[in-house]
Every structure is written in C-alpha cells, then in structure tokens.
Amino acid sequence: MSAAPVPIVRSPEEILGPLGEPEKLNAPARLYLAGDLGLLWGAPRVAVVGSRKPSENGRKRAAWLTRYLVSEGVTAVSGLSLGIDTVVHETALRELGCTIAVLGTPLEAYHPMANFELQRRIQERHLAVSQLPAGSPVQRESFIRRSFTMALLSDAAVIVQAGPESGSLQVGWEMLRLGRPVFLPRTVVETPGLEWPEAMLDRGARVIDDPASLLDAFLGPAAGRHDTRSSFTGYGEQDTFRLRRLKAG
C-alpha cells in the first residue's frame, strides 16, 4: 500500500484570493491538498456530479460530458463517490484530461475502498482536496461539507442524474447560493415525477441539450468549439474517436 500523502495546507484565500461574504459562510478554515495545485488556477473548473447508483444512460451521459469538457481544456471536478463521480474521474484520466477530487475524508483515508487506486492516481498526478486534517473522524456532516467545498472550488456545475435524496443536489444548491451557474440536462428536467429540477430552475439553474451548449452558456460561444448537438442521446464510438482525433491534432 502506498504511503499516505503529505498534505499541502492552505487557506481558501491563499488559493482563490479574497472571498466574498457568501463564500466565507461555508468555506473551511483550511484545505488539505495532495497533487498539482496548478489545477486550481488557469483553466475553468466544472463540477460534474450525480447519483451513486446511476442508470446506464446516466453513466453514458456523464462520460460523454466529461470527455467533451476535458477535450476543451476544462478541469473536471467531482467527489470520488461511487457512480457518476467515479465515471467522471475515470473518464478524465482515460482521456488525458485534468481532474480534481474533493473528498469527504482526510487525504490518507480511502472511501469507498473500491476507489483506492483511483484516489491514489489522482493524488499523485492530478489533485485531491479535503477540508479535514489527518486523523479526523468521518461523519455524515463531512460529506455535506465536501459539497460546500466542491462548490467553492468550481466555476460551474452540472448535475447529470440525481434522485430527490441525492447528496449531489447539495452541490447544486450551494452553487446557486454563491451565484454560480448550474446546468441540468434536459433529460433530467423532463424526468417524470422529479421535482428538484424545477425548484433549481426557479432559482436560476439552466437547461442544456448537449455539452457544447454548456460551454456556450458558461464561457460564451466559440467558433472553434466542435459541435456536439444531440450528444446527450448519441454515444457512438465514432463520436469518441472524433474527440480523440481533435485532441491529438
């Protein structure tokens, strides 16, 4: 087993600059980091979150969205939980993109253990962030605080798929409280019987039909951005190959 990482300890202000009053409310006093701090500067950071038990379409949606984001130079942020989070991190690594894992545990702890190797790779080559010092007990509150920290570190968020009790909704609500963009795929908004999407839309969340429309809304239209229309319903191998070819050349 690998040795526990030696954390880099910084205040949020040291990383992000001066915080406004809304940001200070739920910001941790210290952040404990392992990996490349450069991922917190420069490139846009988008949190991609969702259910721990997604449908197959939810997994495909998360993978396609993450492939597109990292192909455009965006850093994919997620929480290293099972389900959507794992898909996001694994896709970013596979596509040679950048990813940040925001943990609900101290850096030396691994939860879930199924993601031990994934967490180790992120800590070594990308970035893992915790609001808990070494040896801290892990409680339910720890994962709520993780959602606050993920929102603080992200420029925008996408909720790929989530039930009414999903912890990923906490990320969306905190982003909206901070006045940062939250995007919901139309397939999520139109899910029968699901009430939280309408509540978030009432608070300012936006509907997207494909990954390109997310970046158009977030960063503004870009003529050089490749087209992905209808990509939330089409996940063919040709699309994956096209992304890799664009990245290579």
In a domain, 222, yes or no: no
In a domain, 56, yes or no: yes
Which are the contacts of 114, defined by CB distance < 8 A and separation ≥ 6?
Answer: 82
In a domain, 149, yes or no: yes
In a domain, 198, yes or no: no
- Residue 62 structural domain: 8-178
pLDDT, tens digit (0-9, with 9 covering 90-100), for 156-207: 999 999 999 999 999 999 999 999 999 999 999 999 999 999 999 999 999 9
The SS3 of residue 9 is strand
In a domain, 247, yes or no: no
- The CA distances from residue 91 to 73, 137, 140, 162, 234, in Å, are 14, 30, 27, 19, 17
pLDDT, tens digit (0-9, with 9 covering 90-100), for 56-102: 999 999 999 999 999 999 999 999 999 999 999 999 999 999 999 99
Q: What is the pLDDT of residue 229?
A: 43
CATH assignment of the domain containing 106: 3.40.50.450
What percent of the chain lies above the pLDDT cut of 90?
A: 72
Tally of domains within the chain: 1
Largest pairwise CA distance in the chain: 49
DSSP one-letter string for 90-107? HHHHHTT--EEEEPSS-T
pLDDT over 60 at 228, yes or no = no
Burial of 85 (0-12, 13-18, 19+ CB in 10 A): buried
In a domain, 141, yes or no: yes
